[in-house]
Each structure stands twice: as structure tokens, then as C-alpha cells.
A and B are shown apart, each in its own frame.
Chain A
Amino acid sequence: QQPVQSPQAVILREGEDAVINCSSSKALYSVHWYRQKHGEAPVFLMILLKGGEQKGHEKISASFNEKKQQSSLYLTASQLSYSGTYFCGTESVNGGGSNYKLTFGKGTLLTVNP
């Protein structure tokens, strides 16, 4: 079952902040975040491994609440280059172990305007 991302789409002006959420119905080992520009390959942003741990990438950071099986991606002072579709991919606990695969959400389309 795919994780649920919200919102589906968001429009920002350059310099504004945004939060993208990813929620799973399963217990998780990890959450991965990727960004894809139209017609291109997804590009890796970061991995979250521990509950509550935040990882950063320039002005993009993320958190992972292991108990709630949720992750949030924070984009601060957005730039035009942040435009694209953001996907979370979750690695879930399966029968006590992992099957080492990611299940991706449907994506959040972020548009940053001048």
C-alpha cells in the first residue's frame, strides 16, 4: 500500500516556506525523499532512519516520527530550482524483517514562482 502524501500540489512565491507530509499505515525502517523535474529522473534528497531525527540538504530538511509512521519535508526560503514533484519512498517492516524495497507515494507537485 502506497504511503499518502499531502498536499497533492502547492504553489509558492520565491522565498516562501513549504511542508510536505508522508504518512504510512505500516511500521517503517526508513523514509527516503526524492525530487523529480518534468521528464527527468528522480534525484535523491535524503534518508531518514531514526524517529525524530532530522537530516538536512541545503535549505531542505526532514523529520521522521517513527511512532506515527510519518515523515515531513521542510523547504525553507524556496528557490525557483525547488520546483518539481517530491516523492517519499518508505521501507516497511515486513514479518519482522525488511524486504529491502521502497514503496513510493503519489507525489507532491511544488511550483515556485518569481
Chain B
Amino acid sequence: DGGITQSPKYLFRKEGQNVTLSCEQNLNHDAMYWYRQDPGQGLRLIYYSQIVNDFQKGDIAEGYSVSREKKESFPLTVTSAQKNPTAFYLCASGQTPARNQPQHFGDGTRLSIL
């Protein structure tokens, strides 16, 4: 079945450590997105990519980095510069243009500080 796979489901980060969240899709979608979800804040866009080898900062990109080397994959690295990384992270994909295409979400990764 087609879909989006995020791994791991739970992740713990030590002080000063970088961690990478995986996102893979087999929907043949051009666009991929990373969102951060905190209680009461909705979904906030971290980074997005409309095509391989290209990506743009979203509204809260500081402390995060991404790569898009393959159409199917869009990993997110939470760097040590992100001082408050505890959140639920959601990856999504969709066709472009966004206006008439739904976004499909993965099941999320919950990141906590050790």
C-alpha cells in the first residue's frame, strides 16, 4: 500500500546531540513537508521541498536541517542548536500545486529530551 513512513516512532535526545528523523514516501509525490506540533499550537512548518535537491525554510527552521537527495526521502535533522526540541514531528507529502492537492501525513515521531 502507498503511504508515508516515519521512523522512529519515539526518539530521545541527549544534550548537545544531533538526531535525524526519517521520512519515506512511495506515493510518487513531488512535494514533501516537515511540521512540528506542540500542544495548542497547531502544525507549524519547519521545511518543505517541491523537488529533489531543492528545499525552502518554513516558519520555524532555526535549529533544523533537511536534505532531499531522492524523491522518496526527506530526512529532518534536529541539531543541538534547537534548544526546545520536545514535540511531535509530522512529515507530509503531496502533489503540486498545493492548492488543489491534499497533503498526506505520516504517523509522526515523538521527540523528547533525556
Contacts and interface: CB of A to CB of B under 8 A. Distances in A.
Contact of A42 (B58, B100, B105): B105
Interface stretch (A11-19, A66-74, A101-109): A101-109
A104 B42 contact: yes
Contacts of A29: 99
A106 B41 contact: yes
Interface string B93-114: 0001111111111111000000
B26 interface: no
A103 to B, nearest CB: 7
Interface residues of B, number: 28
B108 A105 contact: no
Nearest to B40: A106
Contacts of B105: 41-43
A101 B58 contact: yes
B97 to A, nearest CB: 6
Given A32-B102, A41-B90, A42-B90, A101 B107 contact: no
B103 A32 contact: yes
A100 B59 contact: no
Contacts of A89: 43, 103
Interface string A23-63: 00000011010100000111110010100000000000000
A89 B102 CA distance: 10
Contact of A98 (B44, B58, B97, B103): B97
The winner among B42, B59, B103, B106 for most chain A CB atoms within 10 A is B42
B28 interface: no
Given A41-B105, A41-B106, A44-B104, A98 B98 contact: yes
A41 B58 contact: no
Interface of B: 31, 33, 35, 40-45, 48, 50, 56, 58-59, 90, 96-108
Interface of A: 2, 29-30, 32, 34, 40-44, 47, 49, 87, 89, 91, 98-107
